[in-house]
Structure 1
Amino acid sequence: MLALAGLLGLGGTVAVQAADTPAATFTVRQLTPETALRAVQAALTHCRGLGYQVSAVVVDRAGLPQALLRDRLAGAHTPDVATRKAWTAVSVKMSSAGFAAETQAGKPMSGLRGDPRFMAAGGGLPIEAGGSLLGAIGVSGAPGGDADEACAAKGLQAIADDIEF
């Protein structure tokens, strides 16, 4: 204690944080816009190769869009639906198809379906790397949620090597 008093007497400052006190800040990893764009380009390209006109979006961990592309003939509803699928995946940290299964009537999470931001349909996948949730990708416009999800998975594959840490 005398050493501490001596430091303070000399004009020094000492920061003391109790062992059980949490840190005041934390670090968050986020995709760059360029990485998000590569993911949506890959998803859109894969769907286009199968003859599907879609919209693809990557949202950050807060659910805000980072990159969004709508193919030339994709329906007007597809940007919003793709964003809601991605928002769902990042919000509940599971695929939007998994969310659809877990929110069926009688399931513990069924009440979440009442929130209009959620989309209980396949096509949204969380983006995770190194134990961190980075965001999510969503696709809409292919014939069915399974096809949307396959395109979203191609988007994730396109950036997998870049985000593993």
Structure 2
Amino acid sequence: MRRLFLSASLALAPVPGLAQGVVTERNISAGLAAEAAAAAVEACAGRGFRVSAAVVDRSGVLKALLRADGAGPHTVYSAQAKAYTAVSMRANTSQILETVRTNPGAARLVDIQGFLIVGGGMPIRVGDEVVGAIGVGGSPGGHLDDQCAEAGIARIRERLG
């Protein structure tokens, strides 16, 4: 009985060094997410690429998704997975890909469920804070998906602060 009481007391005790109470976090709004996705799809369409663009919030939850007319069905998954990977790692997926290629310690990142480590995913930041991410899938190369994702972020950049 004494062990049970001690275990329960430890489980309920506050953890030193961790803040208690309410946590306030900033997230990308649904409106800005939809606008960024549309701008990314438009940028790729202007170059002849039919893509999908997905925007997730800071927790990786889908906020907006747009699939261009004629874009392959796989582009929906790839766009969302790239955005999820970028927000989870707080880095561009092209940079993560390079890390996986050059750092043996990072080689297993590709095995994380939901991750897609190819170009086209970028975090959306307000200063140094990640408030979401965008992923684009369907162009003939990750560097081209990157360019369209950048166009999506550029469209909303001034209104992020």
TM range (shorter): 0.7 to 0.9
Identify the structure with the greater helix proportion: 2
Please point out which of 143, 158, 161 is paired with 1:161: 158
- Whole-Å separation in 2 of the counterparts to 1:21 and 1:145: 39
AA at the equivalent of 1:84:
A
- Whole-Å separation in 2 of the counterparts to 1:121 and 1:41: 21
- Tell me the matched-pair count: 146
Please point out which of 87, 99, 108 is paired with 1:111: 108
Alpha-carbon shift at residue 104 of structure 1 (Å): 2.3
Structure 2: which 5+ residue stretches go unaligned?
A: 1-16
Q: 1:2-151 to 2 correspondence within 5 Å?
A: 22-104=19-101, 106-151=103-148
- Whole-Å separation in 1 of the counterparts to 2:18 and 2:45: 52
Alpha-carbon shift at residue 116 of structure 1 (Å): 3.6
**Residue 116 of structure 2: SS of its match in structure 1?**
coil
Give the TM-score taking structure 1 as reference length: 0.84
AA at the equivalent of 1:42:
A
Alpha-carbon shift at residue 89 of structure 1 (Å): 0.3
Spell out, residue by residue over 1:90-128, the C-alpha distance to the aligned partner (whole angstroms, 9 max, x if none).
Answer: 000100111111112653221211124111100000001
User: Judging changes above 3 Å, is the alpha-carbon distance between structure 1 residues 22 and 35 closer, same or farther for their aligned structure 2 residues?
Assistant: same
- Whole-Å separation in 2 of the counterparts to 1:115 and 1:109: 11
- Whole-Å separation in 2 of the counterparts to 1:21 and 1:150: 40
User: Judging changes above 3 Å, is the alpha-carbon distance between structure 1 residues 130 and 23 closer, same or farther for their aligned structure 2 residues?
Assistant: farther
- Whole-Å separation in 1 of the counterparts to 2:128 and 2:103: 31
AA at the equivalent of 1:37:
A
Larger C-alpha radius of gyration, 1 or 2? 1
Taking only the aligned residue pairs, the percentage that are identical comes to 37
CA contact (8 A) 2:54 2:64 kept: yes
Structure 1: which 5+ residue stretches go unaligned?
A: 1-19
**Residue 122 of structure 1: SS of its match in structure 2?**
coil
- Whole-Å separation in 2 of the counterparts to 1:135 and 1:22: 23
